[in-house]
Amino acid sequence: MNANLTPWQFNSIICILYVLFAAFTMEILKTLAVWPPAGVAVAGVMIFGQRAWLGIALGTFFSVLMYFLINNLNPFSFDHLAINISTTLGNTLAALVAFWITNNRFKKHVLLTSVAGLAKTFVFAGIAIGLVSALFGVGIYYVLGLQWIDGFYLGLLNWSLSNTLAAIVIAPALYFLWQDWPHKMSVENSIQLILLILTIALICYSVFGPTYKHLSLPILQPALLLFPLLYSAIKLSPAATSCLNVVVFFSAWIGSNQRWGYFYHHHPEAAEVSMQFFFLFILSAVLLVQAVFIQRKKEQQRLTAFLEQKVEERTYELEQARQEALALSVTDPLTQLYNRRGFFKAVNEQFSQYLRYADSCALLLLDLDDFKSINDQYGHAVGDKVIEKTAAMLIQHSRESDITGRIGGEEFVVFLPRTDANNALTIAERIRKDIAQQIITTDNHQVTFTISIGVSALTTEDNDIESLLSRSDKALYQAKNSGRNQVQYC
């Protein structure tokens, strides 16, 4: 439940629930052997934090006041007022101690859904709330010179046991119902829950009901309840399981209180005490089993998420590697221009759209002059710098739509879409002049270089890019034979 309640609102809710559970215990069952309001106090501090102390204090005060009125005692006599104040103080302090114990775990939302949270924190908090409240509740009688019915030590044990059991039974149910409200269940889980309730009702009626002494079946043991409860802990939600724990406990408690069933039959003098010890361990075990499976499920979910993330990362890496491999297969590693394969692949993908119009595209075929002598005189490192500088100049003079590639050792090609012969010649001449002005300095030498360019433009007789390349190659041949460092058209 995500409602943002003010302190007065949630303290009022705690106080009302506390008094209602107290009234049911004292007026309906007429016993103090078990004290369910302690579970309300623990749930209050778990859900609302230490600010819930006021609701617990008021609930305790009104409950003790009600106890004196039910038993026709003056609630405002000195002794009774002191008992009320001491009990109120003890219960409030006990709840704050439980909050202090559970606070760190509660912030991590694992208090009731992890084995460590239950075993090391929640159960310990339940024991603490029982012991602290018992010290104040029983101790005040001896401070006033009065005697507790069962004696001091037995009184401390019974009080602590009743509060601890109530905390373990009632608090998880209230906590999960509040946190998960409205609780959504699938049709399958709803059917399972109904069947479990019917099964539990049958077992409780047989084991804790008035018919127990007439059945005389050795299999009718309280431990039978473990089967449906453990099934719920494994298959259903924490809210459903904790509520079934409450149903089981109240059924056994009501039966024992009415002097029915297993515990009264075998332990008539201490039926409620033996029942409390039994359910303290049994229901704690159910909560622990539930925590084991919740923790295991969360670990599986984390592992699944981790594996899915790794698969996604690996898939991404493979896709990146594939893209890189594809890029390398069509890219010249030295200049980052298209290689021969990449150039023709890129041009052929769009060349067909120019075939219908003559002079709608052009091709430049460029070859560095005397490149072999540069390599021989200055070394291949300088030759590579000449190649890189030439590629940089081609990129500088290229438009976004142009396609540029290195198709040989010192041979380059530029495809010029939407360019006629005159414009192609202008572009080629500009490139030639700029390259002739480039200087590469190395080892106190200044290296200059030139380039020859063959130009061709699309005609109606061209059917593919190879025909333009062939004419550009003829023009380049003419440029080389005419003295190099010039542009020729064919």
pLDDT for the residue 1: 57
Q: What's the pLDDT tens digit per position in 251-273?
A: 888 888 888 888 888 888 888 88
pLDDT for the residue 154: 85
pLDDT for the residue 423: 93
pLDDT for the residue 435: 94
pLDDT for the residue 16: 95
With beta carbons less than 8 A apart as the criterion, state whether 279 and 162 touch: no
Q: Which residues contact 373 (CB under 8 A, 6 or more apart)?
A: none
pLDDT for the residue 112: 78
Place of tokens 């300088």: 382
Q: Where are the domains of the chain?
A: 1-182, 184-330, 340-489
Which residue ranges of the chain lie beneath pLDDT 70? 1-3, 104-110, 327
Kindly report the CATH number that applies to the domain delimited by 340-489.
Answer: 3.30.70.270
Burial 95-130 (b: 16+ CB within 10 A, else e): bbbbbebbbebbeeebbbbbbebbeebbbebbbbbb
